[in-house]
Amino acid sequence: MQPADYGFELNEFDPFFNFRATKFIVDNGYVEYFAWHDDKSWYPDGRNVSATSQVMLHITTAALYQSFGMGQSLYDFTILFPVIIGSLTTIVIFALVRVLGGTTAGLLASLFFAVSMPVIIRGMV
C-alpha cells in the first residue's frame, strides 16, 4: 500500500510527463501547448509534444483542473484524475449495459471493467 506508506506519488515516467504537459497548459495556455517543442525529452532533438503525445488527456486534465481544482495542487489532481475518471466510467458502463441487457448484465459488465488489469494499473494511486 504505497499511498499509506508514502502518500500520493506519481510513479513511472509517463505520468510525470503527462503532469508536465498538463502543467504547461495550465501555466501557458492551449495555444502555446500546440506550439510547444519540449527540449527536456527525446534528447538531443527534443519533441513536438502536440504531434507525439496524448493531446486530449492533457487538455482534459487541464480543463477539469481549471474548472474543479478548488485550491488543490495540480500534482494531487493529476494523481487522483485516473481514479475519478475510472470510477465514473464504471458507472457509465453499468448504465449503458443495463439498458441493453438488464441490471444483472450491467452489474457484471461494470464489475469486469472495474477489476480488469489495465484499469487497475492505469488508475492506481
Tell me the per-residue pLDDT of 22-42, one tens digit each, with 9 for 90 and over.
999 999 999 999 999 999 888
Tell me the per-residue pLDDT of 66-83, one tens digit each, with 9 for 90 and over.
999 888 999 999 988 888
> What span, in angstroms and rounded, lies between the C-alpha atoms of 7 and 1?
10
Confidence of residue 44 (pLDDT cuts 50, 70, 90): confident
Confidence of residue 107 (pLDDT cuts 50, 70, 90): very high
Residue corresponding to grid cell 464489475: 111
Q: Residue 3: is the preceding peptide bond cis (ω within 30°)?
A: no
DSSP 3-state assignment of 110? helix
> What span, in angstroms and rounded, lies between the C-alpha atoms of 76 and 81?
8
Between 117 and 11, the more confident residue is 117
Cell, residue 39: 527540449
Dihedral angle, C-alpha 11, 73, 69, 93, nearest 10 °: 10
> What span, in angstroms and rounded, lies between the C-alpha atoms of 58 and 15?
11
Residues 39, 46: contact at Cβ < 8 Å? yes
Question: Is residue 111 predicted with pLDDT exceeding 60?
Answer: yes
